[in-house]
Amino acid sequence: MFVAPQEVVAGATAGITLWAVCLLPALLPFFIISDLLVEYGASDFLGALCEPLMRPVFRLPGCAAFVLAIVHTAGMPIGAVLTSQLRHSGQLSRIQGERLLAFSCNPSPGFMFGAVAGGMLGIPALGIVFAGSVYAANLIVGFLFRFYGGKDSGSLGGSGENVSSVLKGNPVSQGIQKLHALQNRGRPLGLALGESAKKNMATLLQIGGYIMIFSVFIRLLKHWPILTFLSKIPSLILGQTHVQEIEAVLTGIIEQTLGCRGAVDAMPTLALQVGAIAFFMGFGGLCVFAQVAGVTAKTDLRLSPFLIARIMQGVLALALSQLGLRYLNLSSLTPVWNTSQLPLLHNPSFLGDQNLPVLAAQSWNMLQWNIVFFGALILLILILAFRNRQAAKQAGNRY
């Protein structure tokens, strides 16, 4: 800070801008909505419906299906937040929580389709390759981690329910029964909304702090040039011409978004760009690891299974992305527009008033893939809140 104050300020500004423009509007609504869905029993309802699928395939209780549904829409690190909540409430055992944490860390569809495929590469069709490879790798890792924990029976954490009784019977009727049983526990929608906004804003501020720290860290590595020096070590084996590519890989291992941007600039072919980006998306980056560590710090969940799963998913996503490129015959595609027209993707510290129309267009491009699911979740919350109100009135009339 005292040696290179301008670089520190520039890095902090870049990190805060990335958080405020991209992460805050994309994550906060889903953080709040997931809280409200848990409040009004939707997670229990979905859990009862998905119990016959989740236990045989992933050796997890049905409530884990709710986490996976949100994770595949809102992105990271909401999976760690929800997994910690389920562990705190006793719905997951320690082993189950670590299994779920291992494959509940994905980028959002808006990031893959809008920010990377459409914005950085200028080829929106590649979003199919990114989403398909990352999500398929995620589910493969989840299936492989069903064997984690050895002889752990996979029983419900703290619920006391017999697994065989859960798997028998009609899951729809069981879900409806659970939903009815949970209607009286919900608070008024206004109170629940206010408390959820306060709690999740604090969580997002913590995440923003991690992003700012890692943004400054990367900026200083490039300023002194430590990152370039580290890149030259493996380049002695691979060749001096690969310094920029190795630097992009090191950047992506530290921070996912900056690594994706670096891969687009440094990799000479589309196949290499897609492979590197798919690995970064599956791996997550050290910045995401720090966020997950902060979120799960108050639980007994260990991070070593999570780290192993990130490496596995990164490698699988890389391999599947190359298969997708070849199978869909997309390797010869060219950008449909000039990505340099999106300054935020090239310079995260960009926030000029004269570029606000471009900024608005870019933000919309990143978020449009989540709008349908977002609207469906809002509708479900309103229905559950109405049912909660009706149940409360009926309970009041009985007394």
CA distance 141 to 313: 6
* Cα dihedral 153, 159, 165, 167 sign: negative
pLDDT digits (tens, 9 = 90+) for 12-26: 887 787 777 767 776
Q: What is the pLDDT of residues 319-377, one digit of tens each?
A: 999 999 888 877 666 665 555 544 444 444 444 444 444 444 555 555 555 555 556 65
Task: Provide the residue range defining the domain that includes 63.
Answer: 5-398
Q: What is the pLDDT of residue 13?
A: 84
Residue length of the chain: 399
Return d(Cα 243, Cα 129) in angstroms, integer.
27
H helices present in the chain, as ranges: 5-18, 24-39, 42-58, 64-74, 78-88, 94-102, 109, 126-144, 163-167, 171-182, 189-223, 226-238, 243-254, 256-266, 270-283, 286-295, 304-328, 343-346, 356-367, 371-398
Quick check: 55 and 163 in contact, CB under 8 A? yes
Tell me which residue of 117, 125, 109 sits closest to 372, measured CA to CA: 109
Q: Judge contact between 102 and 302, C-beta under 8 A.
A: no
Contacts of 65 (CB under 8 A, 6+ apart): 46, 47, 49, 50, 53, 54
Q: Of the candidates 57, 82, 51, 50, which has an alpha carbon nearest to the alpha carbon of residue 67?
A: 82
Q: Please, which residues have CB within 8 angstroms of residue 25's CB and are 6 or more apart in sequence?
A: 363, 367
* Contacts of 374 by beta carbon, 8 Å cutoff, 6+ apart: 29, 30, 33, 73
Q: Which residues contact 395 (CB under 8 A, 6 or more apart)?
A: 184
pLDDT of residue 364: 52
Q: How many domains does the chain have?
A: 1
Long-range contacts of 65-71 (CB under 8 A, 24+ apart): 66/34, 66/37, 66/38, 66/42, 67/100, 67/104, 68/103, 68/104, 70/30, 70/34, 71/104, 71/105, 71/106
Give the pLDDT means over successive 10-residue stretches in the chain (399 positions).
75 80 73 76 71 84 83 81 88 92 86 78 86 93 90 50 46 52 60 83 84 84 74 66 80 86 87 93 91 89 94 96 85 59 44 44 53 58 56 59
The answer to whether 287 and 136 have CB atoms below 8 angstroms apart is: no
Q: What is the pLDDT of residue 212?
A: 86
Question: How far apart are alpha carbons 327 and 321 in whole angstroms?
Answer: 10
The C-alpha angle 280, 289, 59, rounded to 5 degrees, equals 90
With beta carbons less than 8 A apart as the criterion, state whether 274 and 129 touch.
yes
From CA 363, how far away is CA 366, in angstroms rounded? 5
Measure the CA–CA gap between 34 and 10, rounded to whole angstroms: 34
The pLDDT score that the predictor gives to residue 352 is 41
Count other Cβ atoms within 10 Å, centred on residue 21: 18
Residue 97 contacts residue 301 (beta carbons within 8 Å): yes
Specify whether the CB–CB gap between 30 and 73 falls below 8 A. Answer: yes
Quote the CA–CA distance of 295 and 347 in Å, as a whole number: 29
